[in-house]
Structures are given as C-alpha cells and as structure tokens.
C-alpha cells in the first residue's frame, strides 16, 4: 500500500492552491479510512484481539481504539463485507476502489455479482454509482415483494440479511429529552458503556413492559420472539412485520441455549426448565456476568459446556448473559473461558 502524502498547511495561499490542497487532504482521508478498515478486518479475521487481551472484537474496539458504537458497527460491517466479497477486498487493497465506493458496492453485491459491481464502480463516477446501486436495491425490493405475494406472504430467507433501518421523527423538545435520557442511562450504568441507540431504545421498552409483570412470570423473558428454523439445514429466521429476517448462525446457537421449542405433534418444551432458569438469574442477581458489562436487560441463560458436547442443565453449567454477550460467546467460541465469568453468589 502506497504512503499517504499530506500537503503542509500554509495560510494565505491563492484560491487554486488552497482548493488543490484541500482535495488532496480529503483524498488522503479516504485512503486512510480504507487502510484502517483493512487492518481492522485483519484483527477480526485472525481474532488478534484475544492476543491483545480483549474478550471480543467490540471490547477491543471500544477500549483500545476508542471507537463509539456507531463507528465500531461501521467498521465491522465493512470488514464483514470484505471477508464476504474477496474481489471487493482485492480492489480496496490495490487502491482501485475508494472507501465510499466500496461501501456502495457492498450494499448490493453478492459473491456471484461482486466482480461485475467492482468493475462498474471502478469505471463509474461516485454519484452515478450511487444512482445505480439505489436502482438495483429498488428492483430487488420489488422482486421480493412480488415473490412474497406469490408465496402467500412467506418469503424464503435470502443469502444474507443486511441490518434493517428504523427511522424515528422527533421535534426539538423530544430530541433534547432523548439525548438527555441516553446520557443519564449511561452515567447511571443502566446499560453497557458501549451500548448504541438501538440498545437503549430496546432497554427502555423492555423496562416499560417488565414494570407491569409481577409474580412467577417476572423470571421469564418479558416478550417472546417467534423464530422459524429449518429442521434439515438448520437455518432460521425471525418473524417480523417486514417479513422473515434471517438470523446469523451465532444468533441461532444462542437462541437454542434458552428457548421454548414447538415441534409438530409434540408439546412445547423449554430448553432450560423455568424453575432452573429462575435460580440461575437469582444467583447472578439478574445481570450479565460478562466482565465490564453487567447489563440488566435482555438476559438469557447460556450453557458453559454446550448441550451438543454433553453439557447439562445443572446450575454449575449455566450462566446469565445479556443477548449481545451471549451472541459474542457463540461467535467467538472460547473467547471467554468459564474461569473469567464473574458470579455473585
């Protein structure tokens, strides 16, 4: 990768020189971002954060790099895309494709179409590329809508499911209250320090629901999410108003730890008996036991030794984790050894 050259700032230069220096600096910023994402992807691919003393990639990004949650997910998504699309990664490494164009290509390219999209991005201006990506995404949505209508509303899970955007509108006073409440929640340590806005919104909604639930039901999850899983291939999707949203393998594994299973012709069963689940939550004081987390919302019970490896539902083999740490445990198997888990007995 070529070295990045920055023009030395000197006040009082002619307009043409100032413009040229500014453009050169902006190009250097883009190149620096591309380089940073490639290094970040290397840390993820080789799990180097473990050698650096961090339990997960997200903790490494927050504690060592000072990333905000939004910046972490931005880097994480593009790093995932570079792993998923090797042709795109090679174009970025070679300097043929900049940061902004690479993000656009990743929105629509698949392993089968990546070469075509990379070639188009190299030969097309930024605005024209954005316009073509937008058109391609609109066509994809129309095809999905048509296919869903033909299938009576049931749409097969796609090859990959990108994050869904939810837009909220607020007036000035609502925005001020929203920002103040987010800051207060972080200061009171009601949520992990690196929780993003979606985590905070969901935690607030769950607290509202949980406040109305008392008695034996209080030990159960405040809401139930319906997930359909194929008995043959194991792929699963969450049922939403926007259709079935495919889940990542780590999410499916985490759900299987603590779920209620319904099979045709059989009675419903819990993977962990409700009484045992209540004992685990009480023992761990209804908080995530991951060091530096301690979240009290979206709690799930995890098998330290997986059931598929002979793990049982004994109290010694069960530990409380929040949904995010639970997923990380399954993504980065072995990143948190049982000895590192904090318990409040």
pLDDT in tens, 195-204: 677 877 887 8
Q: What is the pLDDT of residue 193?
A: 62
DSSP class of residue 230 equals -
Separation between Cα atoms, residue 339 and residue 341, nearest integer Å: 6
Asked whether the beta carbons of 118 and 97 are under 8 A apart, the reply is: yes
- Which of these, 80, 46, 41, lies nearest to 61 by C-alpha position? 41
Domain boundaries, the chain: 19-150
pLDDT along the chain (345 residues), means of 10: 72 90 83 84 89 87 87 82 87 82 85 91 88 82 57 43 74 84 78 71 78 58 75 76 77 80 76 88 88 78 80 88 80 45 39
CA atoms within 13 A on the CB side of 216: 3
pTM: 0.42
- Which of these, 98, 3, 92, lies nearest to 39 by C-alpha position? 92
Give the tokens for residue 290.
């991951």
* Number of residues that this document lists for the chain: 345
In terms of phi and psi (left: phi > 0; alpha: psi -120 to 50; beta: otherwise), the region of 215 is left
For the chain, the helix, strand and coil percentages under 3-state DSSP, each to the nearest 5:
55, 10, 40
Burial of 169 (0-12, 13-18, 19+ CB in 10 A): exposed
Q: What is the pLDDT of residue 160?
A: 43
19-150 architecture in CATH? Orthogonal Bundle (1.10)
How far is CA 115 from each of CA 9, 38, 80, 176, 241, rounded to the nearest angstrom? 40, 19, 17, 46, 34
DSSP class of residue 222 equals S
Asked whether the beta carbons of 229 and 252 are under 8 A apart, the reply is: yes
């Amino acid at each position: 990768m070529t070295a990045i050259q920055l023009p030395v700032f000197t006040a009082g230069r002619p307009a043409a020189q100032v413009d040229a220096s500014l453009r050169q600096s902006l190009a250097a910023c883009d190149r620096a971002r591309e380089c940073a994402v490639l290094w970040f992807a290397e840390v993820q691919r080789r799990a180097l954060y473990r050698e650096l003393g961090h339990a997960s990639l997200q903790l490494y990004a927050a504690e060592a790099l000072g990333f905000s949650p939004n910046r972490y997910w931005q880097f994480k998504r593009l790093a995932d895309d570079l792993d998923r699309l090797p042709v795109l990664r090679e174009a970025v490494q070679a300097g043929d494709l900049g940061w902004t164009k690479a993000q656009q290509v990743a929105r629509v390219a698949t392993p089968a179409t990546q070469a075509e999209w990379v070639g188009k991005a190299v030969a097309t201006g930024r605005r024209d590329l954005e316009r073509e990506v937008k058109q391609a995404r609109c066509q994809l949505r129309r095809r999905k809508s048509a296919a869903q209508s033909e299938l009576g509303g049931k749409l097969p899970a796609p090859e990959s499911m990108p994050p869904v955007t939810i837009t909220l509108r607020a007036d000035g006073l609502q925005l001020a209250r929203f920002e103040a409440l987010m800051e207060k929640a972080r200061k009171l340590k009601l949520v992990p320090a690196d929780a993003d806005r979606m985590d905070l919104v969901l935690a607030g909604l769950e607290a509202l629901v949980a406040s109305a639930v008392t008695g034996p039901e209080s030990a159960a999850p405040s809401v139930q999410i319906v997930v359909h899983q194929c008995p043959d291939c194991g792929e699963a999707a969450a049922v939403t108003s926007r259709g079935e949203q495919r889940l990542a393998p780590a999410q499916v594994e985490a759900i299987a730890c603590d779920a209620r299973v319904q099979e045709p012709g059989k009675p419903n069963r819990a993977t962990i008996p409700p009484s045992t689940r209540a004992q685990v939550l009480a023992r761990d004081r209804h908080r995530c036991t991951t060091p530096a987390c301690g979240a009290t919302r979206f709690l799930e019970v995890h098998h330290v030794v997986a059931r598929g490896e002979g793990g049982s539902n004994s109290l010694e083999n069960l530990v409380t984790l929040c949904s995010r740490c639970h997923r990380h445990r399954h993504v980065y198997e072995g990143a948190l050894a049982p000895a590192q888990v904090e318990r409040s007995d």
